[in-house]
Structure formats: structure tokens, C-alpha cells
């Protein structure tokens, strides 16, 4: 028995993983270029990651409701 809801949640999570991976890689590149700014870049990375995760969790919530 497979439910479309769980497949939907899985797709949302794929999107989140992809997005946060891209953010992380951009942050790593930026820190490699300028190690002094590491603190600020890390803060910005965490904020962007939380926002992307918020969007993915929209999808999970809809899947939960279904």
C-alpha cells in the first residue's frame, strides 16, 4: 500500500536537500575565498537554510494533512 501523500513528502524533501546543498556549497566557496568573513557567511547560510527548510516543510505539512 503506497500513499501519494508520502511520495509528495519525499519530493518536498528532495527539493529541500537540493536547495540546502546548493546554499552550503556556495557558503563553502565564499569562505574559501575569504576566510575572515567566515562568521558572517555562516550566519547568512543558516538563515537561508532555515528559509528553504520552511518552504520544504510547507510540502510536508500538506502531505501530513492528506
Partner 1 sequence: MKKYVCFLLSLCVLLTFAAPASAKDDESQSEDTAKFDVTGLIMEHIKDSHEWHILDYKKEVDGEEEEVHVAIPLPVIVYANGQLDFFMSSAFHHGDSLVKKGDNTYILYEGKIYLAGKDGEITFNKDGEIENEKPLDFSITKNVASMMLVSIILLLVFISFAKAYKKNPGRPRGMQAVLEPIFLYVRDDIIYPNLGSKTDKFLPYLATVFFFILFNNILGLIPFFPGNANVTGNIAVTMVLAVFTFLMINLNGNKDYWHHTFWMPGVPVFVKPILAVVELMGIIVKPVALMIRLFANISAGHIIILSLISLIFIFQTIAVAPVSVIFVLFMDCLEMLVAFLQAYIFTMLSAVFISLAVAEHKHE
Chain contacts with partner 1 (rule: CB under 8 A): 46-47, 50-51, 53-54, 57-58, 60-61
User: What is the nearest approach in angstroms of partner 1 to the Cβ of residue 64?
Assistant: 8
**Alpha helices, DSSP H only, in 1-66?**
4-33, 38-65
The residue among 24 and 32 lying less far from partner 1, judged by its C-beta, is 24
Nearer to partner 1, 28 or 51 (CB): 51
* Least distance to partner 1, CB of residue 41, Å: 15
Q: Go through 11-32 and write b for each residue having 16 or more CB atoms within 10 A of its CB, e for each that does not.
A: ebbeebeebbeebeeebeebbe
Amino acid at each position: 500500500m503506497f500513499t501519494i501523500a508520502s511520495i509528495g513528502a519525499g519530493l518536498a524533501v528532495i527539493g529541500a536537500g537540493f536547495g540546502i546543498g546548493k546554499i552550503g556549497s556556495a557558503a563553502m566557496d565564499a569562505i574559501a575565498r575569504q576566510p575572515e568573513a567566515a562568521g558572517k557567511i555562516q550566519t547568512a547560510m543558516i538563515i537561508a537554510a532555515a528559509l528553504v527548510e520552511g518552504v520544504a516543510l510547507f510540502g510536508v505539512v500538506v502531505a501530513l494533512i492528506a
